[in-house]
Amino acid sequence: MKHTSSLRRKSKIALAIYMILFITVIGTVVFHVVEHPIRKQLQQNLDVRTQLLASQIEDKLNNSLTTLNSIVSVGAANLTPQQQADTLYSLFINLEGVVVSGGLWPKPYSVDEDIPYQSLFYNRARDGLIEQIYSWDNAENGGYDNQDWYRSVMNQASGVFTWSPVYIDPFTHVQMITASSAYYVDGDFAGVATVDLSLEGLIDYVREHAENYDLGVILKDGFGATITHYDFNIVDDIYISHREFGDFNWEVDVVNSKHLVSDQVMQLVSQVEIGLIPILLCCILLVYYMLNQYLIKPIVSIAENVRDSEATGTIDIDYGSNDEIRFLIDSFNQKTAFLDEERKKAEVSTEAKSAFLATLSHEIRTPMNGVLGTAQILLKSDLNAEQRKMMRTLYESGDHMMTLLNEILDFSKIEQGKLELDKGVFPLENIIGSVNSVYHTLCTEKGLEFKVHSEVPIDRWYMADKARVRQILFNLLNNAVKFTSRGLIEVHFKELHVGENHFLSIRVRDTGVGIAKDAQDKVFTPFEQAESTTTRRFGGTGLGLAIVKQIVELMDGSITLNSELGIGSSFEVVIKVELATATTPQLSNDYTNNLSGLRALIVEDNRTNAIILEALLKGKGFEVFIAENGERALERLSTDTYDLILMDNHMPIMDGVEATRHIRQLGSRNAEVLILGCTADVFEETKQRMISAGVDHIIAKPVKDKELEDALYFYVDKLRQYQPTSIDDFEDELEALVIDLSISLDNEEFEQALQAVEGIEPMLEAENIQGQKLLKSIQTQLKESKVPSKDELDNLVVQLLT
């Protein structure tokens, strides 16, 4: 919007009159008279502000000494270790302020003659959880009595405190400082009490104080190390207020970050001149009148209007001048409308964040489907030994990447409390077979002996989450293979019964590197491994065992670890299961030979994925067709019939869920076709949406040939529901449908006749153009309640039998 600068021009005129009179009459004189005392006063004000800031910091730190005195009193009191522990726990659970941890560090062997170190050290986490830390009790780390914070007060008089240098906590990455004091029992040195102070809140206070008062601050500890600084810039002629404070000998330097003292002097001198010089009074009144008339009043009206408006309200005042105020009002209203729109977008964006992990999984799985699918297809081709080895390496590397992705997604579900079990019936022998198939080869390649022992009946079936049971077992075995270079790996299955409850015990034992006692709890902690070099040496995310522990607990079970360095490890998992009856479908022996001639429709927008699925299905004998989205799939289904549909989820125009819902509502035989969902979105919500829409089974991308084979095997009856088992069956079925058609036409029951024609339609080959045209003609006549001629019906039967 075009606007004139009348407001700026009016301001310049008023200020020019004022400044000319001020400078020419008494400006220079007044400046020299009042400059020195004002400068001194401003420096004193800054010194007072520095002293106040130092006092506040000192008070916050010294307040923690009350807590330290309380801990010293606990140590000096005639209490048992358990009473001391209970008292300290009660102290820390009710503690507020900067103290985040602390406790008692008894003199070595003073608590137990056989155990050198038995500290009572407690840490208060951000969520308020109090936990006792034992890591300092490990004598192999050198002992806490050799630490500077211990030795600095050892044998010092009671009530003497020492402060450590500021340090960065290795876990929270927060600056900390430790206060120490010795405690005595019956006059004898008994140990050291400590409190650890988080400087995070203190630093925030310093920054807030500096920001509120336009200060530049730098805070240093007694060793000269900088704790924090905010807007601390030194320029020529700047006044620095310095102060040392506290028993810890900290230093603080403060400057005015916005203006030099000389700038402030000039400002104050100007104000003094206004009050002292009557000659300028008329000019001041004139300036005030002009500012009030042309600037202050409009701005006040705007402020009142904004204050009284709603959160997203606009300025609505009667202002006729076309100047900066008008520009400000219009700009404000435009920005308000823009911000309101951005707020709505932000709300939508917030909702979209919840789908981020699903998108991440989908975007990684989609290209990996092409990589792993191509590798599977090539592994079935005629490769030489070297090519096969390289292709196997490619496949295993991609599969390992998917394992890492699944671990991260599982851990994310665990953190959100969304990890759920999908119970189903399965035979234990199926899992044992998978274990033998995968790990016998891996162990043989590493020169390891692999054994599987089972005390469970061979025909035992369970009701449980098979995928999670397999995940538990494979994670344990992956660790065993990874950390074992010689000897054997052994898996033992056993059934346990406690009352009416049934449990499956799985023990995985190896002769690998073993795990030290003090590191055994770490292996179940996310992103932790027994040693800091483990990830670098052996790989992995550090999530595998953490996920195993969470899954086991979700299955009302437990996991235990027994291990010795250099000897090996033994993990035992006990999970709750239900006994079940076998539900394996009875399939013919020539199952794999009966897929030739079956028609499959791949609904997939990604060309690479479609090519991979097409190759997998053609390798099994299917005649394969491809649709780019759900809408194209429905168009094909309106003219052709299929025995199998592989349905993607995320597609343009029409997604897999909507397409499946439409297919199940079709009036033809295609409504009952076998639909396998193939999606890279593996989240439970997506699976449930697809299942609810009518998908029979979900196969996660990257599609593995074995999983596809298993699904086809399980749903073979539905897969072959429209395929006659023999020529005689075909002719018998055709004869029955033709008879139904003839009877319906004789009785002029056109709806029944149309149903009979729809039953005949799948028996007519798609390549039979003449027969297809004839069939369409008969269907059209029946829909119009017309009886087809006898020649047309006879010709249709001939086309079917040809």
User: Could you tell me the CATH number of the domain that includes residue 659?
Assistant: 3.40.50.2300
CA distances from 87 to 80, 82, 106, 193 (A): 10, 8, 16, 14
Q: 556 and 635: one domain?
A: no
pLDDT tens for each residue of 708-758: 888 888 888 888 777 654 444 555 566 677 777 777 777 777 787 787 777
pLDDT for 602 beyond 50: yes
Handedness of CA 402, 408, 411, 416 (dihedral sign): negative
Pick from 42-51, 59-68, 584-593, 671-680: least confident: 584-593
For residue 534, name the pLDDT band (cuts at 50, 70, 90).
very low
**Both 215 and 131 in a single domain?**
yes
Q: How many CB atoms lie within 10 A of CB 349?
A: 10
Q: Picking from 304-318, 581-595, 641-655, 658-672, which range would have the lowest pLDDT averaged per residue?
A: 581-595
CA distance 694 to 712: 17
What end-to-end distance do the CA atoms of the chain give, in Å? 81
Supply the pLDDT for residue 523.
76
Q: Are residues 544 and 674 in the same domain?
A: no
For residues 550 and 643, state if they share a domain. Answer: no
Task: Band the pLDDT of 360: cuts 50, 70, 90.
Answer: low
Helical (H) or strand (E) element with 477: helix 466-482
Q: Cβ neighbours of residue 480 under 8 Å, at least 6 residues apart? A: 489, 508, 509, 510, 512, 569
341 is a domain residue: no
Residues 96 and 151 in one domain: yes
- Rounded Cα distance between 491 and 506, Å, is 7
Which pLDDT value is given to residue 29? 65
Confidence at 1, pLDDT banded by 50, 70, 90: very low
In a domain, 363, yes or no: no
For residue 515, what pLDDT band results from cuts at 50, 70 and 90?
Answer: confident
Q: Are residues 106 and 173 in the same domain?
A: yes
**Does the residue 756 lie in any domain?**
yes
* 72 in Cβ contact with 181 (< 8 Å): yes
- What band does 591 get if pLDDT is binned at 50, 70 and 90? very low
Q: How far is CA 366 from CA 274, 402, 605, in A?
A: 75, 11, 11
d(CA 478, CA 475): 5
| Domain contains 337 | no
Average pLDDT of the segment spanning 5-34: 63
- Structure-block tokens of residue 733: 């079925």
Does the pLDDT of residue 186 top 80, yes or no?
A: yes
Bigger pLDDT: 285 or 78? 78
Per-residue pLDDT at 288: 64
Token digits of residue 534: 């483990």
**Do 142 and 38 belong to one domain?**
yes
Is 255 contained in some domain? yes
The three-class DSSP label of residue 797 is helix
What are 695-708's pLDDT values in tens digits?
999 888 878 887 88
CA distances from 203 to 208, 226, 228 (A): 9, 11, 7
What pLDDT is stored for residue 795 in this prediction?
A: 75
Question: Which of 140-154, 172-186, 577-591 is least confident?
Answer: 577-591
Q: Give the integer Cα–Cα distance in Å for 85 and 67.
A: 15
Domain assignment present for 25: yes
The 10 Å Cβ neighbour count of residue 438 is 14
| Cα distance between residue 396 and residue 413, in whole Å | 25
Give me the percent of the chain exceeding a pLDDT of 90: 12
What pLDDT is recorded for position 574?
A: 94
What average pLDDT score do residues 422-436 get? 83
**Shared-domain flag, residues 449 and 565:** yes
* Domain end point (choices 197, 225, 259): 259
Q: What is the pLDDT of residue 5?
A: 47
pLDDT above 70 covers what percent of the chain? Answer: 74
Domain interval for residue 653: 599-720
Q: Given CA atoms 146, 149, 151, 155 in this order, what sign does their dihedral have? A: negative
Tokens of 435: 């274990």
Q: Can you tell me the mean pLDDT for 51-73?
A: 85
Q: Which of 244, 259, 274 is the endpoint of a domain?
A: 259
Residue 78 region by backbone torsions, left for phi larger than 0, else alpha for psi between -120 and 50, else beta? beta
pLDDT top residue among 780 and 760: 780
Instruction: Check residues 433 and 272 and name the one with the higher pLDDT.
Output: 433
What are the strands, taking DSSP E only, across 436-524? 449-454, 461-464, 488-498, 501-510
What pLDDT does residue 483 have? Answer: 86
Report the residue count for the chain.
802
The per-residue pLDDT for 194 is 94
- Higher-confidence residue of 573 and 313: namely 573
- Based on the domain organization, do 35 and 124 belong to the same domain? yes
In a domain, residue 324? The reply is no
Say how far apart CA 453 and CA 140 lie, in whole Å: 39
pLDDT of residue 369: 64
The pLDDT assigned to 706 comes to 79
Same domain, yes or no: 57 and 19: yes
290 alpha-carbon distance from chain centroid = 60
Number of domain units in the chain? 4
Tell me, what amino acid is at 284? I
Mean confidence (pLDDT) of the chain: 78
Same domain, 465 and 612: no
In the predicted model, is pLDDT for residue 544 greater than 70? no
**Which of 688, 720, 752 corresponds to the end of one domain?**
720
Q: Is residue 547 included in any domain, yes or no?
A: yes
My answer on whether 155 and 192 are in the same domain is: yes
Half-sphere exposure of 410 (CA within 13 A, CB side): 25
Most confidently modeled range among 60-69, 290-299, 306-315, 362-371: 60-69
Does this model's pTM top 0.85? My answer is no
Q: What is the pLDDT of residues 188-218, one digit of tens each?
A: 899 999 999 888 888 888 888 888 888 888 8
pLDDT at 757: 77
Q: In 3D, which of 638, 483, 470, 469 has the Cα closest to residue 554?
A: 469
User: Residue 547's domain is classified under what CATH number?
Assistant: 3.30.565.10
Token couple for 253: 């330097």
Residue 395 pLDDT greater than 90, yes or no: no
Query: Is residue 646 pLDDT above 90, yes or no?
Result: yes
Residue with tokens 């211990």: 150
- Give 490's strand partners: 451, 509
**What pLDDT shows up at residue 564?**
85
Return the DSSP state at 669.
Answer: G
Q: CB 422: neighbour CB atoms within 10 A?
A: 11
pLDDT (tens digit per residue) in 69-115: 989 999 988 888 899 889 988 888 887 778 888 999 999 998 888 88
Contact 46, 254 (CB under 8 A): yes
How far apart, in whole angstroms, are the C-alpha atoms of residue 406 and residue 546? 13
| Of 404-413, 513-522, 567-576, 610-619, minimum mean pLDDT range | 404-413
Rounded (10°) angle between helices 790-801 and 769-783: 140
Per the listing, tokens 């009016």 go with 10
Instruction: Give the helix, strand, coil percentages of the chain, each rounded to 5.
Output: 55, 20, 30
Token pair listed for 698? 């979900």
How far is 361 from 647, CA to CA, in rounded Å?
Answer: 18
